[in-house]
Amino acid sequence: MDSIISVLADNLPWVWVGITIICVLIESLTLSLTTIWFGISAFVMVFLAFTPLPFPAQLFIFVALALVLLIFTRPVVKQKLNQKKIATNYERIIGQIAVVTKKITALDKGSVKINGMEWTAAVKEDITLEEGSKCIVEEIAGVTAYVKQI
Residue pLDDT, tens place only, 20-35: 999 999 999 998 888 9
Which of 47, 45, 37, 72 is CA-nearest to residue 61? 45
- pLDDT at position 90: 75
Strand 97-102 and strand 110-114: pairing?
antiparallel
Beta bridge partner(s), residue 97: 136
Would the pLDDT of 148 be above 80?
Answer: yes
Give yes or no for residue 7 having a pLDDT over 70. no
pLDDT digits (tens, 9 = 90+) for 62-108: 999 999 999 999 899 988 887 765 556 677 888 999 999 999 999 99
CA atoms within 13 A on the CB side of 86: 1
Q: Residue 66 carries which side chain, given as an amino acid letter?
A: A
Structural domains in the chain, sorted by start: 2-81 (no CATH), 90-149 (2.40.50.140)
